[in-house]
Amino acid sequence: MRLLTKMSWLELKLFLREPLTVLFAVALPLLVLFVMGGVFGNEVDAEFYRGIGAMDYYVPAYVALVTASVGLISLPVHIAGNRELGVLKRYHASGMPTWVVVGASVITMFIIALFSAVLLVAVAKLVHNIAMPDSTSGVSAAFVVSGLAFAALGVLLGAVLPNARAAQALGVLLWFVMLILGGAGPPPEVLTGVMDPIGRITPLRHAIRAMQDGWLRLDAGLSWLIVALVFVGATAAANRYFRWE
Amino acid sequence: MTSPPSVVTVENLEKRYGSFIAVSDVSFHVDEGEIFGILGPNGAGKTTTVESLQGLRSIEGGEVSVLGFDPRKHAAEIRRRIGSQLQESALPDRMKVWEALDLFGALRAGGRDWKDLLADWGLAKKADARFGSLSGGQQQRLFVALALANDPQLVFLDEMTTGLDPASRRVAWELIRRIRERGTTVVLVTHLMDEAETLCDRLVVVDSGTVVAEGSPQGLIERYGGGVRVRFTHDGDGLSWLGDVPHVTNVDRDRNRYEVRGEGPVLAYVAAALVERGIAPVDLRQERATLEDVFLALTNEETE
């Protein structure tokens, strides 16, 4: 446990020493917020956004998006990059347990995502006066579940991809597809043809619905279960494919 | 008389990567408290052998025991008790020297104080430096310090002086001797002959995945060093009689440089024969065979 704490603290410090990744994790969600908020405002239009104001719809979606961006991009790049450089081999040869190495990365990811999400909500409240979470425990649960699901996906990507560049490329691609089709970009109601079915199978769609359930009491259907299953499945696969070198 | 207990025993180790056989038949044992060398050309299977012992590689055949544990079953137990300086590994560029030592020291309760290790390895002034800002030699020394951070019983050093300048290499050798004086057994992988000859109590020479010789550096030199060599320079011809001098087996000449090879008191007989004929070369000397000669004799037949 002492080792996990030490490693997590060290990982967090290392993260903060990378100005570009910090900027990416914190500024990107804010940028998306300003663009979409500027375009759509927070007016209620019954046809779109599940019948609520655009910003009321988007902010829970962006909180879910933050867990996706850290999980799908930062985490795989970190893990694959460390394997590529030989850092993982160095840890392994010294008897560092897998759960400490992976656990510290996931904990660091959660801290970054939490900071980024709180900042996002505070800005959205100030600028657009969005609705605050109806159920704090519901939102917390949705944050933890979607955070775990994307962390598991991120560890899996980091495990199977050979290097940081491949992880970056695939991570950004997946993140972007999920952003557009998963419901954090255009309102799901305007997706036509094959786009909507694809959107429905993205984990982000269900993470957003779980988040909106806690935030706005909008029905989430099976989304909670689906996000939890993504976590279980990706964890099992990551556990099977994790390599030190 | 009882011999000290073996900390490592390897019998008929075999390791394949697909159809490529990296190690076909390697056997040796390492006794407690010695500096044991694994010597061989690049690609001979040295690193594969030690990484198998550290539990970092699967093992296809043979019996291996490290500190009484089988790396196939108890790799984690072994890694906790050994130190390893790997040939190819790294730390995050932005990790500071003290942070790395603090982290690796935390792996084992009662590990060494990292401040002592920093001082030992000449890194005290670099405690706050980032890994990425260190020179190659400083990074190597940090890796060795990390290998010692858990106060191991056995430490593997794989090409640790590669990339060091000659002065730092001498310093590193002294430090390796000090590791042993603290009671830690050292397994040293190297392709540097002077390093092996200076440091190792015993060594194996590995070539193409098999052990081709085993013994102390001096024993190997006596056995494979090719006898005695006497060298001198002489201008002019007419030394063909040298081949008939007692104990001389072979005479080589390159312009004015002569090399006389043989067994036993070659120097005395050659000197006497030269003086008898009024020739007194000022640079007449006997050259000691080195481990390098042994190594070339054992591993480099194709260039003969």
- Share in percent of chain A as helix, strand, coil (round to 5): 80, 0, 20
Q: Looking at the partner chain, which of A2, A17, A85 has a beta carbon nearest the beta carbon of B106?
A: A2
- Choose the mutation target among A1, A94, A96, A100 for the interface with B, i.e. most B CBs under 10 Å: A94
Q: What angle do CA A105, A107, A108 make, to 5 degrees?
A: 65
B26 and B134 in a common domain: yes
| B106–A94 C-beta distance less than 8 A | no
In terms of DSSP bridges, do strands B6-17 and B20-31 run parallel, antiparallel, or are they unpaired?
antiparallel
Residues 6+ away with beta carbon under 8 Å from A236: none
B164 secondary structure, DSSP code: -
Place of tokens 């640079």: B283
Cβ <8 Å between A95 and B103: no
pLDDT of residue B301: 54
**Which pLDDT score is estimated for B21?**
87
Residues A211, A145: Cα–Cα separation, whole Å: 10
Give the rounded percent of residues in chain A with a pLDDT score beyond 90.
Answer: 64
CA nearest to A11 within chain B: B95
d(CA A157, nearest CA chain B) in Å: 20
Q: Which residue of A has its CA nearest to B88?
A: A86
The answer to whether residue B304 scores a pLDDT higher than 60 is: no
Nearest to B94 by CA among A8, A11, A154: A11
Q: Which domain holds residue B206?
A: 6-222
pLDDT band (50, 70, 90) for residue B3:
low
pLDDT at B300: 65
Give domain status of residue B181, yes or no.
yes
pLDDT of the residue at B111 = 67
Predicted confidence (pLDDT) at residue A160 exceeds the cutoff of 80: yes
Indicate if B10 and B151 belong to the same structural domain. yes
What pLDDT score does B7 carry? 92
Write out the two tokens for B50.
Answer: 């030690």
Q: Hey, what's the torsion of the CAs at A63, A67, A73, A74, to 10 degrees?
A: 110
Distance CA A3, CA A104 (A): 9
Structure-block tokens of residue A164: 């940081």
0.80 exceeded by pTM: yes
CB pair distance less than 8 Å for B79 and A93? yes
Taking the C-alpha atoms of residue A27 and residue A47, their distance in angstroms, rounded to an integer, is: 30
Q: Which of A8, A90, A245 to mutate to test the interface with B (most CBs of B within 10 A)?
A: A90
* Residue B297 counted as domain residue: no
- Greater confidence (B111 vs B134) lies with B134
DSSP type of residue A70: I
pLDDT tens sequence across B233-265: 998 777 889 989 999 988 998 889 999 988 888
Mean pLDDT of all residues belonging to chain A = 90
Angle at A67 between CA A61 and CA A68, to 5 degrees: 85
Co-location of B114 and B94 in the same domain: yes
Mean pLDDT value across residues B181-192: 92
How far does A60 lie from chain B, in Å, by closest CA? 34
pLDDT value, residue A155? 96
Indicate whether B96 and B242 sit together in one domain. Answer: no
> Residue for token digits 């359930």?
A213
Q: How far is B139 from chain A (nearest CA, A)?
A: 13
B265 and B148 part of one domain = no
For residues B260-282, give the mean pLDDT. 91
B80 to A95: CB separation less than 8 angstroms, yes or no: yes
* Confidence label for B2 from pLDDT (cuts 50, 70 and 90): low
Contact A10 B88 (CB under 8 A): no
Model pLDDT, residue A35: 86
Same-domain pairing of B135 and B154: yes
The answer to whether the Cβ–Cβ distance between B92 and A14 falls below 8 Å is yes
Q: Which of B222, B253, B271 is the last residue of a domain?
A: B222
- In this structure, are B202 and B82 located in the same domain? yes
Give the β-pairing of B248-254 and B154-158: unpaired
Alpha helices in chain B (DSSP H): 46-53, 75-81, 97-105, 114-120, 136-147, 166-181, 193-199, 217-224, 266-276, 291-299
State the Cα–Cα distance between residues A244 and A234, nearest whole angstrom: 18
B182 and B204 share one domain: yes
Q: Among partner residues B86, B90, B92, which is closest to A93 by beta-carbon distance?
A: B86
CB pairs under 8 A between A and B: 60
Last residue of a domain, one of B222, B249, B276: B222
Per-residue pLDDT averaged across B23-41, rounded?
93
Least confident of A144-148, B16-20, B185-189: B16-20
Within a domain: residue B67? Answer: yes
What is this model's ipTM? 0.86
Residue B247 in domain: yes
Say if CB B66 and CB B78 are below 8 A apart: yes
B21 within a domain of the structure (yes/no) = yes
CB < 8 Å to A94, chain B: 79, 83-84, 104, 107, 146, 150
Within 8 A by CB and 6+ apart from A86, the residues are A245, B86, B88, B89, B90
Chain A residues closer than 8 Å to B99 by CB: 10, 13
Instruction: Collect all residues of chain A within an 8 Å Cβ-Cβ radius of residue B79.
Output: 92-95
CATH code, domain carrying B78 = 3.40.50.300
State whether B190 and B139 are in the same domain: yes
Percent pLDDT > 70 in chain A is: 100
Do B196 and B243 belong to one domain? Answer: no
**pLDDT band per the 50, 70, 90 thresholds, residue A29:** confident
Domain CATH number, residue B277: 3.30.70.980
pLDDT for residue B303? 43
How confident is the model over A91-140, as pLDDT tens digits?
A: 999 989 999 999 999 999 999 999 999 999 999 999 888 889 988 999 99
Contact A94 B90 (CB under 8 A): no
From chain B, pick out residues whose CB is under 8 angstroms from the CB of A6. Answer: 102-103, 106
Average pLDDT over residues B263-280: 91
Tell me if A94 and B104 make a contact (CB, 8 A cut-off).
yes
Pick from B165, B189, B222: which residue ends a domain?
B222
Count of domains forming chain B: 2
DSSP E strands in A46-185: the ranges are: none
User: Closest Cα to residue A90, out of B108, B88, B165?
Assistant: B88
For residue B167, what pLDDT band results from cuts at 50, 70 and 90? confident
Residues A10, B150: C-beta atoms closer than 8 Å: no
Asked whether residue B299 is assigned to any structural domain, the reply reads: no
Q: d(Cα A219, Cα A223) in Å, to the nearest integer?
A: 9
Task: Based on the fold, state whether residues B146 and B209 are members of the same structural domain.
Answer: yes
Residue B211 lies in a domain: yes
Q: How far apart are CA B243 and CA B247, in angstroms?
A: 9
The pLDDT assigned to B273 comes to 93
Q: Which residues of A touch B97 (CB under 8 A)?
A: none
Confidence of residue A2 (pLDDT cuts 50, 70, 90): confident
Contact indicator for A231, A145 with CB cutoff of 8 Å: yes
Give the helix/strand (H/E) hosting A81: helix A75-85
Specify the pairing of strand B35-39 against strand B202-207.
parallel
Same domain assignment for residues B147 and B273: no
Q: Is residue B167 part of a domain?
A: yes
CA–CA min distance B70, chain A (Å): 15
**Chain A residues within an 8 Å CB radius of B56:** 89, 92-93, 244-245
pLDDT at B268 over 60: yes
